[in-house]
Structure 1
Amino acid sequence: MKDIGLWTIFKVVLNHSHPCCPDHTEMLKQHRELSMFVRRTIETHEKIGIKPSKTYQSFVAAAGSHRELEISEEDDAKEFGKYLVREKNQNFFFELNLEGDHYIKHALWADARSRAAFDYFGDVVSFDTTYNTNRYNFVLCSFVGVNHHGQSTLLGCTLIKNEDIQSFKWLFECWLRCMGGKAPKGILTDQCTSIQRAIELCMPTTIHRWCIWHIMKKIPSKLNGYKGHIHIEQEMSHVVWNSHTKDEFDRNWNDFLTKYGLGGNKWLSGN
């Protein structure tokens, strides 16, 4: 009878088709209802500015463990999506890439102000991946430009689960869609091979350079094995920050390497 849109039930089997696992009962919908106390606590914490992660941890502490808690973190992806959808400005942009129906794999969003700022200040962009979130273990990335007052201006934010080529490729393709397909003339990033390869694939005309801040902060860990490394670090910083032309830098850099016998240092001599 399905040809006319109707079905006839001939037999009902109420037994489960597979054994139930007690360790996963918290995943059942009936075990994930929010009590009135929990709802009011969440509302109160939100009003006084307590972060959702702190609220969740307080419930975990009270229940004794995550497994005893009648709240599933699998709904976080849906709630995050609902939060983004609630943005009323039609120029707000976001995309989510989910694993199944529950887990966020990648996310990108940019408000109307960020998208407008890119039109004016998107020639050279810094892409920063140095921030890591809490136990969710996401990397928080940001696209940042510099406005006409020399101030940093946010051009978009992302969350990624894995720092591999495919993740960054998804991210850059998504961000370019957000910005109307316009790639920046230059981009500054950390020394990451996956980022470099993704930029080559997605923005082949963009000039890619390593961020000097990321490079300089690695100096102590790279040179602390050398005798008198503090003085070496100071002189290296002087060469980097006080060489005003390419020729001047090349000359000072070579003198620096020769003076301290650093020609064989792979980090300093690498491209």
Structure 2
Amino acid sequence: MYGVDLANIKQLVAIKEGKQLVRNHQKDKLSAKINAILRENGMWQISKVISSHNHELEPSMSRFMVAHRSLNMDMKRRLEDCETSLKRKRRLRLGDGDLEAISKLYEDFNDVVSFDTTYLVNRYKLPFATIVGVNHHGQSILLGCALISHEDLNTFKWLFMTWLEVMGDVHPNSILTDQCESMRKAIREVMPNTRHRFCLWHILCKEPEKFRGVIDNDSACLEFKAVIYDSLTIEMFERNWNEFVVKHGLERNEWLSKLYVDREYWVPIYLNHTFWAGMVSTQRSESMHAYFDGYVNSMSTRKQFVEQ
């Protein structure tokens, strides 16, 4: 056996370079011993194990072991972190029998969910949709996912209706998505009482392109953000918006005109009265993608993807 951690056997073995020394478990009577040899490659090899008068390990008795009594605080924190991480991964898994666990999570955390379809769309040409919520610790929780063939109204309606059926037909109070008309129509029909919000980050990412014809592009982008974030009332937003459009000659900008029509879906001043768990974008959904990266890659088939 190579690569043995010396700290785990030093209670039984005293080692000196190039030699084998055995430390007895009992002072006068040989009981259990381990011989180890330091190889030329710098790795330790256990060469001999005598387990006479040895006992089987009993997990419930582990607290009496010398090594456990000498754990420092750093090691204890690491063990706690590992345990927390494993529990989180178990809750994320969507294997057999986990649907009930997910619906129990959703029962407690159905205030706001984020819905995203950007994962894998570029590599597989087959969108993978995720529904992510937030628990009472501010942590992201996976509440559902689906591999979809199209991003049209009927597909989204089927997805939302199927998901809600599993969730006991409990509708979320609010939902975040990207700026997709098919999603908006589906949510309006399937969840008419759910407050819908567009991802603000995706909207602002389009600024440089949409203001390309403006003389002072950088200044216009900064002023546009100020209109969005610094308007403290609806009246102030309306006034600031009109002044911005006139100042930069953007009266015929189709992108801005459409945004203004949809202003209640993305401008903070229209949405601040609703609880969003601190979210203004679908970033939580996108950060969840790293979890799936550990199980699938660009070479995975659809069958492998579903199995994983």
* CA-to-aligned-CA distance 1:59-100 (integer Å, 9 cap, x gap): xxxxxxxxxxxxxxxxxxxxxxxxxxx934x3x23xxxxxxx
Aligned position for 1:87: 95
Is contact 2:103-2:168 (8 Å) kept?
A: no
Given the alignment of the two structures, is residue 129 of structure 1 paired with residue 137 of structure 2, yes or no? no
Q: What 5-or-longer segments of structure 2 have no aligned partner? A: 1-93, 262-308
For 1:262 and 1:134, how far apart are their aligned partners in 2? 33
Matched, 1:210 2:218: no
Q: Give the match for residue 211 of structure 2.
A: 223
1:156-188 per-position Cα deviation (integer Å, ceiling 9, x unaligned): 222111111111111101110121101112222
Matched-pair identity in %: 48
Is 1:255 paired with 2:237?
no
For residues 181 and 260 of structure 1, what CA distance do their matches in structure 2 show?
48
* 2:131–2:145 CA contact under 8 A, matched in 1: yes
Higher mean C-alpha deviation, range 261-270 or range 145-154: 145-154
State yes or no: 1:265 paired with 2:273.
Answer: no
Question: TM-score, normalising length from structure 1?
Answer: 0.55
The counterpart of 1:164, out of the listed 135, 152, 172, is: 152
Q: Which amino acid aligns with 1:201?
A: E
Q: Of 235, 244, 252, which residue of structure 1 is paired with 2:223?
A: 235
Query: How far apart, in 2, do the equivalents of 1:252 and 1:225 lie?
Result: 21
Q: Does structure 1 conserve the Cα–Cα contact (< 8 Å) formed by 2:116 and 2:131?
A: yes
Shift of 1:134: 6.1
Q: Is the alpha carbon distance of 1:148 and 1:253 closer, same or farther for their aligned partners in structure 2, counting shifts above 3 Å?
A: farther
Of structures 1 and 2, the one with the larger relative CO (CA 8 A, separation 6+) is 2
1:230 match: secondary structure: helix
Q: CA deviation at 1:133?
A: 4.3
Q: Who is 2:132 aligned against?
A: 144
Separation (CA, whole Å) in 2 of partners of 1:241 and 1:154: 30
Q: Could you report, residue by residue, the CA deviation over 1:8-44 in whole angstroms, capped at 9, with x for unpaired residues?
A: xxxxxxxxxxxxxxxxxxxxxxxxxxxxxxxxxxxxx
- Secondary structure of 2:237's counterpart equals helix
Q: What is the distance in 2 between the residues matched to 1:210 and 1:138? A: 22
- CA shift for structure 1 position 135: 4.8
Q: TM-score, normalised by structure 2?
A: 0.49
1:1-271 equivalences in 2 (<5 Å): 87-88=95-96, 90=97, 92-93=98-99, 112=101, 114-133=102-121, 135-270=123-258, 271=261
Query: Structure 1 residues 214, 199: CA separation in 2 closer, same or farther (over 3 Å shift)?
Result: same
Q: Quick one: which amino acid aligns to residue 206 of structure 2?
A: K
Question: What CA distance in whole angstroms lies between the structure 2 residues aligned with 1:185 and 1:223?
Answer: 35
Alignment length (residue pairs): 167
Asked if the contact 2:175–2:195 (Cα under 8 Å) also holds between the matched residues in 1, the reply is yes
Distance 1:244 1:144, change over 3 A: farther
One-letter amino acid matched to 2:233: T
Residue 222 of structure 1 deviates from its aligned partner by 1.4
Q: Are the structure 2 counterparts of residues 137 and 187 from structure 1 closer, same or farther at C-alpha, using a change threshold of 3 Å?
A: same
Distance 1:134 1:261, change over 3 A: closer
Alpha-carbon distance in structure 2 between the residues aligned to 1:263 and 1:115: 48
Unpaired runs of at least 5, structure 1:
1-85, 94-110
SS at match of 2:187: helix
Question: What is the alpha-carbon distance in structure 2 between the residues aligned to residue 150 and residue 231 of structure 1?
Answer: 35
**Alpha-carbon separation, structure 2, partners of 1:223 and 1:130:** 25
Residues in 1 aligned to 2:116 and 2:159: alpha-carbon distance in whole angstroms: 13
Q: Distance in 1 between matches of 2:232 and 2:142?
A: 29
Please give the alpha-carbon distance, in whole angstroms, between the structure 2 residues aligned to 1:152 and 1:242. 29
Distance 1:269 1:178 in 2: 39
